[in-house]
Amino acid sequence: MDTATLVLTIRRLKFLNRSASESGASTPSIVFQQRLPQSITWLQLCMGGFLFVTCSDNHSSKIICWDLLSSPGPPRALAEGYLPGCVKTAKIEVQQNKIVLALGVETELPSTHILALERTSEEYAFVDLARIHGSSHVLMLAGNLVGCAVRRGNNIPHLVDWVQNKVIHIPPPPGGLDIPKRRSVPHLMTKWGERLVLIRTTELAIYRHPQNGRLSFESLQSTPDIWEVCVRSCPPSATGNESTQLHLLVICPTGLQELELSIELNESSPPNHIHYHMVRAINWRGVSGDPYDARFPWYKLTMGSTGRKALWVSANEFLRTSSQNCRKDLADQTLPCVHVATLPVPSSSIPKAACPPQTHSWTLDWENEPAIWALPVIAFDDALGVVAIGNCFGELAVYAHGDGRLESLSAILPPLKARQQASETIRISKSPLTLPEIPGPRYNTPYDEMDAVISRSGWCPDAVARPLGLRTTWRNFNMYCHRHDFRGLPCDHGWLLEHGYGFPGRLALQGTYEDPDTFVLRAGERFIMYNEYLDVATGTCSAGRTLPDNLLGELQDWTCQTASTLQGVYDLCLRLENPIGHRWRQLVERGGQIDWQEMVETTRFYK
């Protein structure tokens, strides 16, 4: 932690302690609130006072930066601009005189855009530093290196040096990538000293990556199922050398756990031996017999900036009671709430099992604050006690402890250093860039027009031969699981394949088998057989070859089972709205370019 940030944190903690003793409350207050006309897809807090938000609808995609500490008056937008596609993944890092962002932009050919927020003597602006075409799904940003999980539509983890515009191949671990547990994208990439770690659902792949050296595979570490993961930064005084220990906080089937990796350098150990152990931190009480996946009630794990606190959303009570209150309105429900845990400081002298985290929770007002059930995106600065929450309805709020007086920090916030003149780069567009329409049928496409619409969309390509029994005509073919459910709209089946099974990007429908709920889709060179009620299976087939008949023999496990909870909570709450789709309609009234009825039609409970 640099000196300016340390001084800022100490001042802020003194202020929070004084405010807590005066009010006796631990629930934060709203310091900033917006209702945007587009769905919020990503947000992040940076340097204590900058809030970055990306949002999009069917017409355009936008990035905005607010100064939360502007004085006098409310927070103001420092810079904004438009992008050629929706942002689904992003990472941010402070580098020299600018804040650098790596944005995974979904277009017809997905790419990664490297932007920077720069300040001149006159203004702030977003500038375009680089574009990496064909690389998307951003998992890491570390200096010149961007870690991406998708290359030209296929799930192939790789690095990109955005300064040199060079793709760096990551060698596959033993057994290769074409096995079910590695066909999905990893959860995360992270640098660990001179190592690179890829975190998947059941294993960690560790690579040697010395500075300016060649990337080489080192080892695999098996883990319990990991559904969500954050890297925990720990003070060196508590854990020793940062380069020899790595701490991961994960949501797994048994609760919230911390994984710790350390490098053994003892004489009796092999050179650079990696020692791995796990300490159970928190368990949730399982809920059985509930139709809405209440076995996995925690999701949206978010690590605080200092590594001392973690935040997540809990739907435990809501899912436990929702089956009893399914005919009541949202106002009568116990809605999901935000949990914050103070984590024990790692120390070899204190058994971690004896130091359970201290937790507290707070509930958002269901009507006047962002709907926490609507695909929330969350950022957490635990040093300053600030939380930012957005959702797919374009609802945004920033919360702070201490009666919401963030302005008390403006005098000591380290500013972004100004350049004498603008960087010799291109500023991103300040005018909307029209987004191409997502190909494929819509919810209201007539059945007698279905074949023509699908043909124009590029689905069911003639170059791929198909096994017997695969139907590719749709006219008068009535199914419960609809064709438009794979467009990637909030919580449809395409969304679940991306977030629950790790297959991002656009899906091309190939056909269906006689069972009306079983579909075959293509993602890059990967074919997916999807049945809402049974299994998901994957197979590989290049253009011109027959789809494998044994596709169902390669079942695909969940990579993030909490996605099913998120989907169930969203579907049920949308159903309980009165009237249904009320918040989507409000977004349209604010100028959002969406079909609100289509958003409602994709939910599984509406049909």
pLDDT tens digits for range 477-514: 445 445 567 888 899 888 999 999 999 988 887 777 76
Please tell me the least confidently modeled range out of 71-80, 146-155, 559-568. 71-80
Residue 442 maps to a domain: no
Q: If you average pLDDT over each of 17-26, 47-56, 474-483, which comes out highest?
A: 47-56
Assess if residue 432 is contained within a domain.
Answer: no
Question: Torsions phi, psi of 366, nearest 5?
Answer: -65, -25
Whether the pLDDT of residue 404 is over 60: the answer is no
Does residue 235 form part of some domain?
Answer: yes
Q: Are residues 556 and 470 located together in one domain of the fold?
A: yes
Out of 53-67, 532-546, 567-581, 585-599, least confident range: 532-546
Summarize the chain as % helix, strand, coil (round to 5).
15, 35, 45
Closest CA to 43 of 69, 66, 71, 74: 66
Q: Does the CA dihedral 49-54-55-61 come out positive or negative?
A: positive
Give the domain extent around 566. Answer: 447-601
Please count the CA atoms within 13 angstroms of the CA of 201 that sit on its side-chain side. 20
Domain co-membership, 113 together with 52: yes
User: Has residue 434 been placed in a domain?
Assistant: no
Does residue 148 lie within any of the structural domains? yes
Residue where one domain finishes, among candidates 427, 458, 476 = 427
Residue 97's pLDDT is what? 79
Comparing 125-139, 170-184, 356-370, 432-446, which segment has the lowest mean pLDDT? Answer: 432-446
Asked, for residue 497, whether it belongs to a domain, the answer is: yes
- Of 52-66, 292-306, 406-420, the range with the highest mean pLDDT is 52-66
Residues 283 and 407 in one domain: yes
Last residue of a domain, one of 427, 460, 487: 427
Task: Name the average pLDDT for the chain.
Answer: 81
Comparing 139-148, 215-224, 227-236, 328-337, the range with the smallest average pLDDT is 328-337
Considering the domain architecture, whether residues 385 and 468 belong to the same structural domain is answered as no
- 249 or 294, which is more confident: 249
List CB contacts of 281: < 8 A, sequence separation 6 or more: 249, 255, 256, 257, 258, 341, 343, 352, 356, 357
Q: β-strands 76-83, 518-523: how paired?
A: unpaired
Q: Is 268 exposed, middle or buried (0-12, 13-18, 19+ CB in 10 A)?
A: exposed
Please state, for a pLDDT cut of 90, what percent of the chain lies above it.
Answer: 44
Q: How many Cβ atoms are within 10 Å of 205's Cβ, its own excluded?
A: 23
CB count within 10 Å of CB 254 equals 13
DSSP-assigned states of every residue in 543-559: TTSPPPTTGGGSB---S
pLDDT in tens, 236-268: 544 445 567 899 999 988 888 888 888 776 556
The answer to whether residues 58 and 108 belong to one domain is yes
Examine the domain organization and report whether 423 and 451 are in the same domain: no
Per-position DSSP letters for 346-380, written without gaps between them: P-TTS-GGG-PPEEEEE---TTTS--TTS--EEEE
Q: CA distances (Å), 458 to each of 328, 471, 510, 607, in order?
A: 43, 16, 10, 27
Q: Collapse the DSSP code of 253 into the 3-class scheme (helix H, G, I; strand E, B; otherwise coil) and give the result.
A: coil
What's at 434, amino acid-wise?
T
| Shared domain check, 456 and 422 | no
SS (HEC) of 116-166: EEEEECCCEEEEEEEEEECEEEEEEEECCEEEEEEECCEEEEEEEECCCCE
Residue 565 lies in a domain: yes
Q: Does the N-terminal peptide bond of residue 579 adopt cis geometry, omega within 30 degrees of 0? A: yes
Which residue(s) pair with 277 in the sheet?
Answer: 260
Asked if residue 453 and residue 420 are part of one domain, the reply reads: no
Q: Where residue 116 sits, what CATH number does that domain have?
A: 2.130.10.10
Domain count, the chain: 2
380 contact partners, CB below 8 Å, separation of at least 6: 45, 302, 303, 304, 305, 309, 310, 311, 386, 387, 388
- Considering the domain architecture, whether residues 404 and 454 belong to the same structural domain is answered as no
Q: Show the tokens assigned to 411.
A: 């005098």
Pairwise CA distance, residues 223 & 230, whole Å: 15
- Looking up tokens 């001179």, which residue turns up? 194
Query: Are 390 and 455 in a shared domain?
Result: no
Do both 394 and 504 map to the same domain? no
In a domain, 524, yes or no: yes
Pairing of strands 273-282, 86-95: unpaired
Residues 422 and 309 in one domain: yes
